[in-house]
Amino acid sequence: MEKIQKIKGFADLLPEQSRVFQRLEDTARAVFGRYGYREARVPILERTELFSRSIGEETDVVQKEMYTFPDRKGRMLTMRPEATAGMVRAYVENGLHAQEELSKLFTYGPMFRYERPQKGRMRQFHQLDVEAFGSPSPLLDAEMLFMLHHFLTELGITELTFELNSLGCPKCRPDYQNALNEYFKGFDSGQLCEDCLRRKLTNPLRVLDCKVPSCKELTRGAPKITDYLCPDCAEHFSTVKSLLDRGGLDYTLNPRLVRGLDYYVRTTFEITSGNIGAQTAVAGGGRYDGLVRTLGGPDLPGVGFACGMERLALLMADPGPSAPDFHIVAMGADALDAGLLLAQELRAAGFGGECALAHKSTKSQMRGADKSQARFCLILGEAELAAGTVVVKNMRDASQATVPLAGVIDLLRL
């Protein structure tokens, strides 16, 4: 029969890769927990409108990259391309704002974007996503950046660049948009791509995020958002920067950093690495005051970020499997049965390991014990069965002793 293959841009995570992902998840839980973040889990499938309304109609994500389809009743649904929109929906729908002043949440799981697959860019990829709702304070932005730095350091990932920008607010953004309009007005179809010819009128900030080389080149001379910040936004940004300076977190200012999603205001950031190929961003985020209201909730601020787990995994080594406590070698049918039952007793006592399931030569079973890297190899033959004993071989120093079956647990505890 013909083999059925996985979909392009999707991947199987076999044990070696899963171990790296588990380490990412465990470290996230430990580090984020220290800052008061709690885990939440939200659906993968949401109504399409959730994303078009929050991420923005003019973004590449909404225009070109979403997996959208009607369900059996014709309702338009989308496989989430990111987690923020769903987290905001859950925050509003479950009335968390009525229960607590500040909600600090994180989640992780698969996201879906129909992009051209390449190293570090998948159609199904995974994010670790962090969101904090309820505080406009620049201290929260700084704390979040410190936490992200702490998390990456804990993973042993260094040589990263923290790029930082402020995108202003609905008060100062229109002035900047006018300045951009004015700047891009002079360029036509020879210089801007087709999308940007439209974007320069509908949402000129998106031109700054265009990946087409000729558009990128033109943005070099474009006005900078940081020259247009209103006093409140300027002060907010200056507090974030000053806290990062005082906390010793190095960053690079990038006034062209607009991010690929429309909901950002004020602080935005991206963490990049030069060691993972063309897709350099390992994490990105920022403030999104106004989004909770756009999605039908009260007018409460929010800030967050997401890390790309595949991209972090490219920067991490496989920690290797943890060594089992025992491996049982058994000769003869009765010994095989006894080995299985002994393994059950040991597992019930909290130890981990495997036992022989079918007859094989002693040599081949000993090779299996070596390969398993177990701390102890327990050998059961007819003689041991008759005497109610087992041979315990310490695989680290090759020492060996015959002990009564009942004494194995105490030996393993050593």
Encoded one letter per residue, x for contact with ligand HAM by CB under 6 A and - for no contact, window 109-128 reads: ----x-x----xxx--x-x-
Asked if 21 and 126 count as a contact pair (C-beta separation under 8 A), the reply is yes
CB-based contact 144:305 (threshold 8 Å): yes
Are the C-beta atoms of residues 208 and 59 closer than 8 Å to each other?
no
> Should residue 311 be labelled a site residue for ligand HAM when binding is judged by CB under 6 A?
yes
Q: Binder to ligand HAM among 129, 143, 209, 384 (CB under 6 A)?
A: 129
Which parts of 263-302 interact with ligand HAM (CB under 6 A)?
Answer: 281-286, 288
Instruction: Quote the least distance from Cβ 127 to ligand HAM, whole Å.
Output: 5
Q: Where are the beta strands (DSSP E) in 184-301?
A: 252-253, 265-273, 281-287
Least spacing, CB of residue 322 vs ligand HAM, in Å: 28
Say how many CA atoms lie within 13 Å of 214 toward its Cβ: 12
Please, which residue, 196 or 306, has the CB nearer to ligand HAM?
A: 306
Nearest CB to ligand HAM, comparing residues 164 and 374: 164
Cα 184 to chain centroid distance, Å, stands at: 36
Distance CA 408, CA 414 (A): 10
Cα 154 to Cα 106, 126, 147, 283, distances in angstroms: 17, 19, 10, 15
Q: Which is nearer to ligand HAM, 233 or 261 (CB)?
A: 261
Q: How far is the CB of 341 from ligand HAM (least distance, A)?
A: 47
Q: What's the length of the chain?
A: 414
Draw the binding track, 334-373, toward ligand HAM (x: CB under 6 A; -: no contact). ----------------------------------------
Q: 120 vs 353, which CB is nearer to ligand HAM?
A: 120
CA distance 117 to 51: 22
Among 351, 299, 316, which Cα is nearest to 136's?
299
Q: How far is the CB of 389 from ligand HAM (least distance, A)?
A: 55
Among positions 54, 84, 107, 135, the unique one binding ligand HAM when judged by CB under 6 A: 84
Contact 412, 351 (CB under 8 A): yes
Q: Compute the least distance from the CB of residue 83 to ligand HAM, in Å.
A: 6
Instruction: Report the residue from 56, 297, 304, 353 that binds ligand HAM according to the rule CB under 6 A.
Output: 304
Q: Are 226 and 166 in contact (CB under 8 A)?
A: yes
- Beta strand 389-394 with 76-79 is unpaired
Fill in the DSSP letter of residue 209: G
155 part of the interface to ligand HAM, by CB under 6 A: no
- The answer to the question of residue 82 lying near ligand HAM (CB under 6 A) is yes
- DSSP assignment letter at 10: -
Residue with nearest beta carbon to ligand HAM: 308
**Residue carrying structure tokens 């991206």:** 270
Q: Which residue in 46, 60, 131, 209 binds ligand HAM (CB under 6 A)?
A: 131
Q: Tell me the window of 22-30, 304-312, 380-388, 397-405 that interacts with ligand HAM (CB under 6 A).
A: 304-312
Residue 7's CB is within 10 A of a number of other CB atoms, namely 8
Binding status of residue 108 toward ligand HAM by CB under 6 A: no
Q: How far is CA 125 from the centre of its chain?
A: 9
- Comparison of 192 and 295: residue with beta carbon closer to ligand HAM: 295
CB of 282 to ligand HAM, least distance (A): 5
CB of 110 to ligand HAM, least distance (A): 11
Crossing angle between the packed helical segments 84-93 and 48-55, to the nearest 10 degrees:
110
Interacting residue ranges for ligand HAM, rule: CB under 6 A:
82-84, 113, 115, 120-122, 125, 127, 129, 131, 260-261, 281-286, 288, 304-306, 308, 310-311
